[in-house]
Chains A and B, each alone.
Chain A
């Protein structure tokens, strides 16, 4: 039998139910893998004892034949999710000792479904970043390396620790959150699956807020089927989140029929960027050929405001962040740096507690919301956001799903693209428009770059139609047959 950590979630679940191995054995295999993956700096907190206790509870249920949907599945939890009594820092110094007195709704649902917690994983500070280099606890390393080049690569971000834990086989799956691409881009960079569901599908309650009109939780896994199974457990209405959708949750795994005959798949012409690497173009074309071969019908569509999505996002997200992060004031929780006056205490606490990128965004957000600039920047961006959502709505009268690359490049090396904040923001050029429109989108590993790094394809769906996104995603997954493994796992080139 293959190593337990090589099994997908669906395979491990079948193995547990058939009693081929126990939840405790699976947990032990992952606890060892988590320890072995320490050089990648993905885990901030390891909770092996809790994992084993939860695994024993799973084994009891399995023995009684009353297994829960995710019984015994060892998960990595992004450090943005509040976990009761377990350190939750959002990757920031300002929350360095914060132990929440409550548990987020999404993690509560996962534990209720039988999943077990391995630990908390690293991320860009307050989820602001695309490379996991803005973490207060040190950067995270991608388990992949370029062929013939041993320089460490970034894992993408902000859910970089989550993506690395899953890709390095140090967790069977992980939770992520996505505000402008933070699930999909690291999934693409690390060769795994990540889905950002429709805004409102998963409760935001107990997730440290970045930009509340954009933030969504989602699963990061090694297969599309795993993503469907995990999303099932994470979804559903929560009265504690006033933006949680009171909509029925379909059976996502049942949607994986493999049948996309006649499905119209939109190919947005504005996503053919000037200067996009030829291998990304080629990958996209392969994706189009695969869905055609499966009987779907590609149709050219236009999302004419695409080029304005990033500037819109970089007004709205910092504006919401500047308001959300006002709560870190050194009074009720987190870091406090003493000052003579109350204002001085606030200013010193926030100066020492926040890193450079967070400060930059809070200052931009404060500026665009300040008197005299609110209409010119913030309101303008909200109006463009309406037009971007209209663009998608119009496109979806002509197709049922949209196919694009996930990111304009493969993972880059530490040190590349780091001097210019705008060059870094361009990582999210294909993912941000979907976030602004609140739509579901998945990234599926679809091939390798010329130097051997994973590349993802993105499928975007109508609001609350994750089912079509997953179904089409699984067709791409099968056609791509992505079996490559990171060097950290195969042991080569290290």
Chain B
């Protein structure tokens, strides 16, 4: 399936990656090439086949719902690009 520039722009918005307009056409070409290559999967009959959703046939284990870690605020904030008063900060989102 061939992607157009508008679709590339929509995916880029969904992925929160800024793609300048002048790059959209080139990227549309590249992604279309990859998609048409992966579409050969349509040759495989998968009717009645269960999807494999993990790397192994296993049931996910349950654990007790208990706090096992914590009190590490400063350590965690140490990697943040911007903090204030012991919090992460972001541009204003509510007027």
Contact = CB atoms under 8 A, between A and B. Distances in A.
Interface of A: 97-101, 198-200, 212-214, 216, 239, 242-243, 245-246, 305, 307-308, 311-312, 314-315, 322, 326, 329-336, 338-348, 350-351, 354, 359-360, 362-364, 366-367, 370, 377, 379-387, 389, 421-422, 438, 463
Contact of B41 (A199, A239, A332, A380): A380
Contacts of B54: 213, 243
Contacts of A438: 55-56
Interface string B65-95: 0000000100110111110000010110100
Contact of A311 (B40, B49, B82, B90): B40
Nearest to A341: B91
A366 B14 contact: yes
Interface of B: 3, 7-8, 11-19, 27, 30-31, 33-35, 37-44, 46, 49-56, 58, 60-61, 63, 72, 75-76, 78-82, 88, 90-91, 93
Closest 5 A-B residue pairs measured CB to CB? A382-B51, A336-B81, A199-B55, A383-B46, A333-B79
22 contacts: A242-B60, A246-B61, A322-B15, A326-B16, A330-B81, A331-B80, A332-B88, A333-B81, A336-B82, A339-B91, A350-B17, A359-B17, A360-B34, A366-B11, A366-B14, A367-B3, A381-B41, A382-B51, A383-B50, A384-B44, A387-B44, A421-B33
A350 B11 CA distance: 14
B93 A342 contact: yes
A334 B81 contact: yes
A462 B56 CA distance: 12
A329 B54 CA distance: 26
A239 B63 contact: yes
Contacts of B88: 331-332
A128 B76 CA distance: 27
Q: Interface majority SS on B: helix, strand, loop or mixed?
A: loop
B81 A335 contact: yes
A342 B60 contact: no
A350 B80 contact: no
A213 B55 contact: yes
B46 A363 contact: no
Given A101-B72, A308-B41, A340 B55 contact: no
